A and B are shown apart, each in its own frame.
Chain A
């Protein structure tokens, strides 16, 4: 079975979704059929090579399969474990449920909390933005719904783990996070699969709505196997005086394209967007970011750091957009790339569109190999060259690692990097 309207309908009834959601899926499917494949004549896709991606080759979903590795993050407030494309199983502390926290598979939430989900789902992300977004809109499967009511603060992180062990199918989870006024919590999405021979199609899209004064951390830990094609859209909508910290860790996939967008809609809103990617072999990473200052007195701070070895490639393109009335905005954007081998390459396009003069706005980008002076310094202290280089790469990532709001996730990424840098 390939992608088709029938598959869309079947998925909807399989999950027993309400009619409004099925209608949305159908609308996205129509958009998918209408829209052409992104072409390299479009600015966003000019440096992104979709050669080898055959959308006909994927099954529309994947049954639960294989045994996932043990939980990597222990001591969570709640855990959702999803296998393949099927709705995940949830463990949540009873006292949280008593406080009114909702944490469940998105399909279940669509049934049980239909109005709440309808109010937010795909209100941040446009499911008709391009063909691949539309495919996600029509066939997203599983995913998490997290709602933390007004004033509730949860110390331990919420964790969703998405595991896929079969190739040849589409695994398209969607995370929807709604943070009530003044709520405080962190959520970690972990995407995992072993490296397989048959390509698979994945997403990992997320919408985060931060209500007034909320403080939300969102971490995306992308460790798909090196057979995966990933197209993910992330959107943060920050209301007045809210703070959202998003950290993207990109380690897996043969091709991983992620859009990270933050819209600052209320005065005092602040968004921190951090990213770290490490590519080896033939991996390709593509990040398109947007810091949209819709109103004044808002802050955004972006830092994406990538290191590439072997023939890995990366594209970073980011835009800070400050609207006409958004006085006293403060925006920062930096992209740093470390090239560890001759055939690795990185493209960097940090852009600004400023419609207003009373702002502070700075950006920077660099592309460079490991600084030989640093290597020399370490070598002169008796550290072997290979170790010295590894230390430098570690140090390079430190700035982003430090910003991962969940300690265990930070340790996990450090271990993973250690293994990959080798």
Chain B
């Protein structure tokens, strides 16, 4: 049964900027729906070792057995039988931009990917539908032993590292959608940063859904060996169709002793995409994990990046913004699990709702027995731009140890009339004044982004804000 969801426009120019779609061209497209044969077919197409095929099948079984989550956003409209689980759009992955098939190249050109690569990125990966179509990495980094590959190639080329870590941070049985991802995963990024290597400029992956009713299930695995550093950025867009697509990624990160990893997401899916993502990192001694998570697009997002603080000195940080416009529900947040003593974490969440949109902060601070001298602080600020929008806060604090210091604070407010008055008294029109205030509100987030992204984000917010003041 196909479910039709009314078409919604986000900002006027999503359509022209990201909303275009190319005619579907593919070298292989699996049938709609989900069953053992499709899973076997995906595994076969990729020429995977037997252990992976078995793991996929086992995960499919778990997916079927697990009930749909009953909390959070309404997921009952997802029709798992109406989705294409695998779509291969080109025969080979390109290392040179010129070799990318024209129509796909055009897509990423329009999105500004090669330009960004030239300007400031150390490596780029571009995923189109189910597989990565373009890949590059600066030469000096590969000489230092940095591995930056799409996850499929990594399984072929580095089977030992892969098998050692894959599915260890997020086992298939973690939740229904991690099981689904493990059954049908395809594409995503694999990064290995060797001991002591610092990747100074960011690595980027760009994810694009083009086909209608497509399911994108990328799988990302990042391993930061002792004392290393990497900053990984992902961006996501999709065309506006009248029926839904599903994006259900799994991201696993291992940050070893003294290493630091920063993972930045700018999620700007079109508003017919269900974005149900499991992201988790484990941080060992003195390691730092930072999630910088921006959610602007999608119809429904449910995403709670988490950090398991496994050894003393580990530090976790989540900085998250969510913007929900008409018909959108951003159910986002973060989880910090303190397993070891002397660990610290912070979660900062900023959310903006307008035109009936709903933002929910949902988070967990868990302190296990024995994890003394823990410090954790959560701060949530919500801005409601009109009286039809909704904001929720669900912070969970579970503390099994006494020598800890945990705080949570949240405020919900509207754009302050005094601030508006101040700006308008200086001749700034209402819309502009409101946009400035919103940009100021999310500034702690934008200042953590590379400049190009910060500009882009400010522009996106500006677009979202236009026409929002009546």
The reply to whether the CB of B287 lies closer than 8 angstroms to some CB of chain A is no
Given the complex, which residues of B lie within 8 Å of A18, measured CB to CB? none
A358 to B313, CA, bound (A): 42
Is B151 part of the binding interface, using a Cβ–Cβ cutoff of 8 Å?
A: no
Q: Mark A347-362, 1 if CB is under 8 A from B, else 0.
A: 1111111111111111
Binds A, one of B13-21, B406-414, B442-450: B406-414
Q: Which residues of B contact A47 (CB under 8 A)?
A: 398
Nearest CB in chain B to that of A331: its residue: B412
Q: Which residue of A lies closest to B400 (CB)?
A: A345
Does A196 interact with chain B (Cβ within 8 Å)? no
Using Cβ atoms and an 8 Å threshold, which residues of chain A touch B393? 350-352, 363
Of the listed stretches A77-85, A135-143, A222-230, A365-373, name the one at the interface; the rest are far from the partner chain: A365-373
CA distance A337 to B408 in the complex (A): 12
Chain B residues near A364 (CB-CB < 8 A): 407-410
- Residue contact B392 to A43, C-beta cutoff 8 Å: no
Q: Give the chain B neighbours of A343 by CB distance below 8 A.
A: 402
Which residue of chain B has the shortest Cβ distance to A362 in the bound complex? B411
- Chain B contacts for A356, CB-based, 8 A: 384, 387
Tell me if A369 and B402 are in contact (CB < 8 A): yes
Contact with A along B383-404 (1 / 0, CB 8 A): 0111111111111111111111
Q: Decide if A346 is an interface residue (CB 8 Å cutoff).
A: yes
> A345-B400, A367-B404 are known contacts. Are A357 and B395 too (CB-CB below 8 A)?
no
Chain A: CB-nearest residue to B411 = A362
- Pairwise interchain contact B402-A342, C-beta atoms closer than 8 A: yes
**Are B382 and A350 in contact, CB atoms less than 8 angstroms apart?**
no
A339 to B406, alpha carbons, bound, how many Å?
A: 11
B414 touches A350 (CB 8 A): no
Give the interface residue-count category, chain A. 35 or more
List chain A residues, Cβ under 8 A from B51.
none
**B391 pairs with A354, CB closer than 8 A:** yes
**CB-nearest residue of chain B relative to A370?**
B402
Q: Report how many A-B pairs have Cβ atoms within 8 Å.
A: 106
In chain A, positions 181-227 with a C-beta closer than 8 Å to chain B are none
On chain A, the residues within 8 Å of B419 by CB distance are none
Residue of B nearest to A342 (CB): B402
B142 on the interface (CB 8 Å rule)?
no
Bound CA–CA A342/B404 (angstroms): 10
B386 CB contacts on chain A under 8 angstroms? 357
A residues less than 8 Å from B412 (CB atoms)? 352, 354, 359, 361-362
User: Quick check: A351 and B385 within 8 Å, CB to CB?
Assistant: no
Residues of A within 8 A of B168 (CB): none
Q: Pick the contact of B402 from A341, A347, A362 — CB < 8 Å? A: A341
Question: Hey, what's the 0/1 contact readout for B341-385 against A, CB within 8 Å counting as 1?
Answer: 000000000000000000000000000000000000000001011
B296-327 to A contact mask, C-beta < 8 Å, 1/0:
00000000000000000000000000000000
Q: Which of B71, B387, B388, B408 contacts A350 (CB 8 A)?
A: B408
B400 lies within 8 A of A367 (CB): no
- A344 CB within 8 Å of chain B: yes
A347 contacts B411, CB within 8 Å? no
- Report chain B residues within 8 Å CB of A369: 402-404
* B411 interface neighbour in A353, A361, A367, Cβ under 8 Å: A361
| B225 CB, nearest partner CB in chain A, Å | 35
Is A357 in contact with B384, judged by CB distance below 8 angstroms?
A: yes
Query: Are A345 and B392 in touch, CB under 8 angstroms?
Result: no
CB distance from A192 to the nearest CB of B (A): 30
Interface: A270 (CB within 8 A): no
Taking the nearest CB of chain B, how far is it from the CB of A264, in angstroms?
A: 17
Contact A349–B396 (Cβ < 8 Å):
yes
Q: How long is the Cα–Cα vector from A103 to B397 in the complex, in angstroms?
A: 42
Tell me if B387 and A349 are in contact (CB < 8 A).
Answer: no
Within 8 Å CB of B403, what residues of A? 339, 342, 369
Closest Cβ neighbor of B364 among chain A residues: A349
Q: Give Cα A368–Cα B403 distance, bound, in whole angstroms.
A: 7
Q: Does B405 reach chain A (CB closer than 8 Å)? A: yes
Q: Are A357 and B414 in contact (CB under 8 A)?
A: yes
Contacts of A350 in B (CB 8 A): 393, 395, 408, 410
In the complex, the chain B residue whose C-beta lies closest to that of A364 is B409
CB pair B390–A363 under 8 Å, yes or no, is no
> Of B389, B398, B408, which contacts A347 at CB under 8 A?
B398
B406 touches A368 (CB 8 A): yes
Residue of A nearest to B407 (CB): A366
CB-CB under 8 A for A368 and B387, given A43-B71, A351-B392, A360-B413: no
Query: In the complex the two chains form, is B394's CB within 8 Å of A351's CB?
Result: yes
Binding site for A on B (CB under 8 A): 71, 382, 384-414
Pull 24 A–B residue pairs with CB atoms less than 8 Å apart, ordered by A: A327-B387, A337-B399, A339-B399, A339-B402, A339-B403, A343-B402, A346-B397, A346-B399, A347-B396, A347-B397, A348-B397, A349-B394, A350-B395, A350-B410, A351-B392, A351-B395, A352-B410, A353-B390, A357-B384, A359-B413, A360-B413, A362-B409, A366-B407, A367-B399
A: which residues have CB within 8 A of B? 43, 47, 324, 327, 337, 339-369
- Other A-B pairs, 13, CB within 8 Å; known A348-B408, A351-B392, A352-B392: A43-B71, A324-B388, A339-B403, A345-B401, A348-B397, A350-B395, A354-B391, A358-B387, A363-B409, A364-B409, A366-B408, A368-B405, A369-B403
Pairs of residues from A and B, 3 with the lowest C-beta to C-beta distance, nearest first: A357-B384, A339-B402, A352-B393
